[in-house]
Amino acid sequence: MPAENAHTSFEFIRSEKIESLNVHVEEYRHKVTGAMHFHIAADQDENVFLVAFRTVPMDSKGVAHILEHTALCGSEHYPVRDPFFMMTRRSLNTFMNAFTSSDWTAYPFASQNRKDFFNLLDVYLDATFYSRLDPLDFAQEGHRVEFEEPNNPESPLVYKGVVLNEMKGAMSSPVSTLWQTATKYLFPTVTYHFNSGGDPDSITDLSYDELLAFYRTHYHPSNAVFMTFGNIPAKELQTRFDEQALSNFEKLDINIEVSDEKHIFSPVKVEEAYALDEDDVSGKTHHVMSWLLGQSIDLKEQLKAHLLSRVLLDNSASPLRYALESSELGSAPSPLCGLEDSNRQMSFMCGLEGSEPESAAAFEQLILETLQRVAKDGVPQSMVEAQLHQLELGQREISGDGYPYGLSLIMASVSSAIHRGDPIALLNLDPVLDELRELIKDPDFIPSMIRELLLDNTHRVRLTLRPDNKMTERKDIDEKAKLAVIKSGLSQEQTQFVIDQAAALEARQMQLDDESILPKVTLQDVPTQMHVPISEQETLAGQTFDWYGQGTNGLVYQQVIIDLPELSDDELQIMPLFSHCMTELGCADRSYQENQQYHVQISGGVSAYTTMRGATDDEQSVSGYFVVSGKALLHNQEALTNLLHETLNEARFDETTRLREIVSQQRSRKEQSITGQGHSLAIMAAAAQLSPVARVDQKSRGLESIRFVKALDKQLDDPAALQALSAKLVAMHEKIKQAPRRFLLIGEPEQKESLAASMNQQWGASKGATTSSLALKPTREVVKQLWTTSTQVSFCAKAYPTVPVDHEDSAALTILGDFLRNGFLHRAIREQGGAYGSGAGQDSGEAVFRFFSYRDPRLTETLDDFDESVSWLLDNDHDEAKLEEAILGVVSSIDKPGSPAGEAKGAYHSSLFGRTPEHRKAFRQRILNVKTDDLKRVAAKYLKSELASIAAVTSVEKAKGLEDQFEVIAL
């Protein structure tokens, strides 16, 4: 790439073609400030931008996290109160966010529209390099004190703040506490010792002046890394970078970095506690062993460490995972198992959950003896080769169904750029993979790494984290005492300041900014066409076969889609367990360990799952499918076809010891998921009786499933109950095997004939015969529930019965969610109420409209705000521009691209449920035609208070006194 392709303010350093990704990666440096720019040039319309700053706080006050929030609250050229959230609704973005990591803060976005991309670029550059950092925004986003009763200085003081509540929610998770505690001891002197998001006990100590000082040094071009992806040339991007920001700065003589941690020469053993608000705390202790390894920017060492971690922990055939899964010292391997490579120095962790404090020494002995045995005996060569195969597959697969594909590449390399490593090398793994193929031929390759990195490495920490059911109470008492001391020391002037600040903040939150200063796209910028992949449908020996020719970079995707047969309520409740066991237990003549190892050798993963939806014209009429899905590199496609056939027809459910382990693991995972996905669980609970699919979701995936799995786990201590469960799974398997089936195949266009031939050879004579299909009972009932658990925040939801997608009102209801969030909910629940997030939306599959809040310090007040948003809509006139913003938000969501394989799967499965490409395009057009009067009409018609179902996940304390209004259910 010649130097003249750089803007005059940048110097070209190098470029490299990465064949496996079909991209060119270019590296540039800004001549004056030293800011780095890495551009991934690709033939993709979805362009991605990210600017990252090295942020290395040396305390747990959350300065980097609060700054991330506050920087997005107004800037020099866009002095409005909330440009970030305003732009989310004035844009066709496919991604907008900001992240605070342990040692960097990043601001990424993506868009398929060039005008929109440059609009967002201007706002992001101004937000990061010219932020206003208003003290009131610091008070709103970070922390402040207010009187519990506004304008009443006699009432107690309380803490408020969005980040404060976000981190109270985050640190309610035992796994988050486990991670923070483990890194605290593994890194005794560098930034990772601290909680970069902010410890709720420390956040309130951060001053506004400290925030300003951190911004001035850390948010400077000399400390910045720009990363971009797409088909906009680097020179064009650099022109904007320089004109909008960089030309106004001189080089700052700073060198912000993370130094290497000082080596510990004797292993550390420590025990700490975490808050668990339950009477019975037995079997709730976590044990983790962690080791500090080498630098993450050394790509060869990083991939070697990844390979070691995968060999030891990837699946049940892996020696260390097997030891953890089969141990009676705990119920399941810890979520903190594996390699962490995003910090400057890597760390390796493994652990057990569901244990007791006194088992710490036995746990450590189990780990060390397992490692010593593997170091002595080695591992099968096929296991090492299989894990190297997984690294290659991960390099080749084009992702993009969660993050935009370009952003996933950027996120994979940003840490190396931050630590002044080589992000280009991190994207081009092929040369190092070739080198590793030679290295693994040595039988001592894995044993020698175990000795060097683990057994002989004294920088090791054994952490025991035990539950404490009095900790929350002690923290509450301490916080109230701290606030009482603050109040007692307030002068009359300071008391008035607290009152005035609260009033000023409320006024600021209610003010109407001149949004016209912000750039925007309009409905005229919306593409007229919607891209949906179209399948070629063929018949194989009487069976349906759908083919999508997509650019999959040499991967093949296969699915067997089976009509769900008639199933009882009990069978539907354990269907997620059945699906999981389908690939986690043995198959044919292979044990579960042999089967998992075989999966790794030939595929990128095989999974099974159930999918159900209501009809397009009747949510009470449900169809459902059981799907067995897999992917593999092209040369393994025939083996993958055989594996899917075996998985469906010869899966075994007779390994009861392993089945018992799986249930225990599922219990642990479900219990830990509550505070991380509390809003989703609350939504499911609120909608649970409003449609048949929602009822099944609540019982199989929602809060009911958590209670069910806890009870099932206890029952399985009885061998007879375990045998009965095995028999039930076998019976379900027989039903599934006999049901009618169809097939989905995705691959490179030119591979169609060969792939179809192997599918036909394996499946041609195979037919299902079952005639009885899934039949779910209709339901449309109201619930009012509070589900209590160990949490410092709440997750609230309200649901109303509405209409399915074919109804004329479904488009207006879909727009209504964004309109209420943009116009009312964001201000009332996030800014004023202090919740981390809130929203509303229509689910046309279940014919339900849902409100929700996330990591919310309030409960009944938020439920009232949901109602107030409807009153606000009905009682006021509304600007047509606000309607356009809501439509843009929905259309950008509809048009959001996925991976080539993901888009094909989405199109196929949508069509299965009647959402054909033509149907989806027609609905998109209906979205574009919605008027403000339509919103008022559907809100008045469907969002009536007497029809509302309510559910919340909250604490026992917050539920007190509400028993007469809600059914209170303990989790």
pLDDT (tens digit per residue) in 945-955: 999 999 999 99
| Average pLDDT of the residues in 282-309 | 95
Residue 392 has a pLDDT of: 87
Please check the confidence at residue 531 and state whether its pLDDT lies above 70.
Answer: yes
Q: How many percent of the chain have pLDDT more than 90? A: 87
The SS3 of residue 430 is: helix
Q: Which helix (H) or strand (E) holds 436?
A: helix 430-439
At residue 764, the pLDDT reads 75
Percentage of residues in the chain having pLDDT higher than 70: 99
**Distance from CA of residue 579 to its chain's centroid?**
22
The whole-angstrom separation of Cα 615 and Cα 845 is 7
Give the pLDDT of residue 554: 87
- Tens of pLDDT, residues 440-471: 999 999 999 999 999 999 999 999 999 999 99
Mean per-residue pLDDT over the chain, rounded = 94
Q: In this model, does residue 167 exceed pLDDT 60?
A: yes
Nearest to 226 by CA among 246, 252, 253, 256: 246
Nearest residue to 288 (alpha-carbon basis) of 466, 465, 455:
465
Helix axes 703-715, 656-673, angle to 10 degrees: 140
The tens digit of pLDDT for each residue in 305-318 reads: 999 999 999 999 99
pLDDT in tens, 788-839: 999 999 999 999 999 999 999 999 999 999 999 999 999 999 999 999 999 9
> pLDDT, tens digit, for every residue of 106-128?
999 999 999 999 999 999 999 99
Report the relative pairing of strands 36-41 and 224-230 from DSSP bridges.
parallel
DSSP label at residue 914: T
What are the backbone angles phi and psi of residue 321, rounded to the nearest 5°?
A: -65, -40
- The DSSP output letter for 565 is B
pLDDT beyond 80 at 971? yes
Q: How confident is the model at residue 540 (pLDDT cuts 50, 70, 90)?
A: low
Residue 399, C-beta contacts closer than 8 angstroms, at least 6 positions apart: 405, 408, 899
Task: With CA atoms as reference, report the closest residue to 108 among 99, 100, 116.
Answer: 99
Domains of the chain (ranges, CATH numbers): 3-142+206-256 (3.30.830.10), 541-763 (3.30.830.10)
Q: pLDDT grade, residue 765 (50/70/90)?
A: low
pLDDT of residue 613 exceeding 90: yes
Average confidence (pLDDT) over 531-554: 84
**Of residues 757 and 848, which shows the higher confidence score?**
848
Q: How far is CA 305 from its chain centroid?
A: 25
pLDDT in tens, 708-739: 999 999 999 999 999 999 999 999 999 999 99
Token pair in block for residue 646: 């075996």
| Whole-number pLDDT of residue 767 | 62
Per the CB < 8 A criterion, the answer to whether 552 and 746 are in contact is yes
Is the per-residue pLDDT at 862 higher than 80? yes
Both tokens assigned to 61: 């006050």
* DSSP character at residue 251: P
| Cβ atoms 696, 612 nearer than 8 A | yes
Q: What is the DSSP letter of 535?
A: P
pLDDT band at 553 (very low <50, low <70, confident <90, very high): confident
Q: Are 555 and 125 in contact (CB under 8 A)?
A: no
3-state DSSP assignment of residue 600: helix
Query: What pLDDT is recorded for position 730?
Result: 97
Q: Quick one: DSSP state of residue 906? A: H
The CA radius of gyration of the chain, in Å to the nearest whole number, is 28
Question: CA-CA distance, 24 to 16, in Å (whole number)?
Answer: 6
pTM: 0.93
| pLDDT surpasses 50 at 1 | no
Contact indicator for 789, 953 with CB cutoff of 8 Å: yes
Rounded to a whole number of angstroms, the distance between the first and last alpha carbons of the chain is 59
Residue 433 has pLDDT above 80, yes or no: yes
What are the backbone dihedrals phi and psi of residue 545, each rounded to the nearest 5 degrees, phi first?
A: -140, 120
Residue 72 per-residue DSSP state: T
- The total of other beta-carbon atoms located within 10 Å of residue 902's CB is 19
Q: Are 920 and 530 in contact (CB under 8 A)?
A: yes
Per-residue tokens: 809? 């009102």
CB 696 within 8 A of CB 718: no
Largest CA distance in the chain: 87
Say how many C-beta atoms besides its own lie within 10 A of residue 689's C-beta. 18
Distances (CA, A) of 447 to 295, 437, 452: 21, 16, 9
